[in-house]
Amino acid sequence: MDFMTALDISASGLSSERTHINIISMNLANAKTTRTADGGAYRRRSVVVESIPVDASFKKHMQSAMDKDLRGVRVHSVAVDQRPHKLVYEPGHPDANEDGYVAYPDINVVEEMAALMTAQRGYEANVSTVETIKQMYSKALGISREVIIKEEHTGAENEHPGSRVESIHQCPGKLRQGPEQNAEFGFHN
């Protein structure tokens, strides 16, 4: 798996968990809503996620056996809970029925908070994964820079065989050629 595939998987998880957190927040905000635009009390919502393939169709043909089952997630839909409303006797409430009962959403605040904490931990895990991928990418770039620098300096030494620089780190700036410049750094031919 390459860096970009790992980022795609984490990004799909971040998007899914963000939607999950938004839906839970909406449930908590509407825990006492007795009247909606659709009529009646608010109904609890939940997120339905599904796994999806990460790679594009061309890349799929170039995969190894280990990479073929890599999948991300996406929000398939937001389901409306069909639990019955809680009926509370409040005869003075404007939304009370003829018997004096008010229909409140069946939202358990403790359940919603537990789901919110779980979604938050999932989001944090995906953020941590993205940070780790970024660190790995930076390390890989650092290694490639070191290799390029060594190749450049090795090439400079090969072009001018009279120079006797023994360590790149002992010689700040550009490599200098000739005995008088090398003597300045303590090297002698």
The neighbouring-strand residues paired with 71 are 53
pLDDT in tens, 92-104: 999 999 999 999 9
pLDDT in tens, 48-69: 999 888 765 545 555 555 556 7
Neighbours of 119 (CB within 10 A): 21
Task: Report the alpha-carbon distance of residue 150 to residue 166 in Å, rounded.
Answer: 13
CA angle 120–125–128, rounded 5-degree value: 125
The neighbouring-strand residues paired with 47 are 78
Task: Report the alpha-carbon distance of residue 78 to residue 44 in Å, rounded.
Answer: 10
Residue 81 has pLDDT above 50, yes or no: yes
Q: Are 126 and 8 in contact (CB under 8 A)?
A: no
* 4-43: burial string, b at 16+ Cβ within 10 Å, e else: ebbbbbbebbbbbbebbbebbeebeebeeebeeeeeebbb
Q: Locate 176 and state its tokens.
A: 């200098």
Neighbours of 47 (CB within 10 A): 19
Provide the pLDDT confidence category of residue 158 given band limits of 50, 70 and 90: low
* Farthest CA pair distance, the chain: 107
Q: Locate 39 and state its tokens.
A: 């009529």
pLDDT in tens, 36-46: 988 889 999 99
The neighbouring-strand residues paired with 49 are 75
Task: Report the alpha-carbon distance of residue 113 to residue 152 in Å, rounded.
Answer: 58
Q: Which of 17-31, 71-85, 111-125 has the lowest mean pLDDT?
A: 71-85
